[in-house]
Amino acid sequence: MAARYLPSDRFGVGGDWYDVFLLPTGWLGIVIGDVAGHGLASAVPMGQVRSALRAHSLSSNDPAEVLALLDRDIRHFNCDSFTTAVYATISPDRSQARLASAGHLRPILAVPGQSATQLPMAVDLPLGSRAPRRARSTTLIDLPPGALLLLYTDGLIERRDRAIDKGIAALAGHVHAGDPETVCTDVMSGVGPEQPADDVTVLAVHRWP
């Protein structure tokens, strides 16, 4: 695994975070998220959300169930907080992953011998949304030997003068099934902003060949 975090130039801290932890069942939990706002106003609730997700992850290996519990907490205790996140659990043999998105950009998967692509998965409501609750969904994918999964926040690719689809396509062109440190470096140098107006966070998880 490898990760990068680049805070916005203006505030120095923010609401982006990532986390990786081993669950008692042998599954591996990975998450990336973004609490809306800037500076301490988003960094403080981010810490609370991160801790709550870890606690709920002990209750289930299903990412959708964990995000539903987290959404309940945010609606009750952090009524002004608005958060997007992707939470995934990787099986003990590392051959499969379960993923759920709460309003967050879909991860990119690179498989040896193939071009990297954005995962075809559902994107459910963000956490803390005031919209009526809906059932959350989990997507199951295979992780072949050598595959790399890249999670990221919108600060990496969003630009005022470019459609977000073009940003995602440019990002996918820098992702390959290889060393995660190299991938993170290539991604940050290839598509990362020189002077970020928003936090930038990248997390790469690679299954050994």
Q: pLDDT (tens digit, 0 to 9) for every residue of the chain, 209 residues total?
A: 999 998 876 666 778 999 999 999 999 999 999 998 777 777 888 889 999 999 999 999 999 999 999 999 988 886 667 899 999 999 999 999 999 999 999 999 999 999 999 999 999 999 988 878 889 999 999 999 999 999 999 989 987 777 888 989 999 999 999 999 999 999 999 988 877 678 899 999 999 98
pLDDT given for residue 180 in this prediction = 98
Residue 16 CA to residue 99 CA, distance in Å, equals 19
pLDDT given for residue 115 in this prediction = 95
- The parent domain of residue 96 ranges over 2-206
pLDDT given for residue 164 in this prediction = 86
Residue 126 CA to residue 105 CA, distance in Å, equals 11
* CB 121 within 8 Å of CB 140: no
pLDDT given for residue 198 in this prediction = 81
Q: Give CA separation, 166 vs 66, 147, 205, 207, in Å.
A: 31, 23, 24, 28
What is the total count of domains within the chain? 1
pLDDT given for residue 78 in this prediction = 66
pLDDT given for residue 179 in this prediction = 97
Residue 138 CA to residue 165 CA, distance in Å, equals 23
- CATH number of the domain that 101 lies in? 3.60.40.10
pLDDT given for residue 40 in this prediction = 74
pTM, 2 dp: 0.93
pLDDT given for residue 11 in this prediction = 63
pLDDT given for residue 9 in this prediction = 64
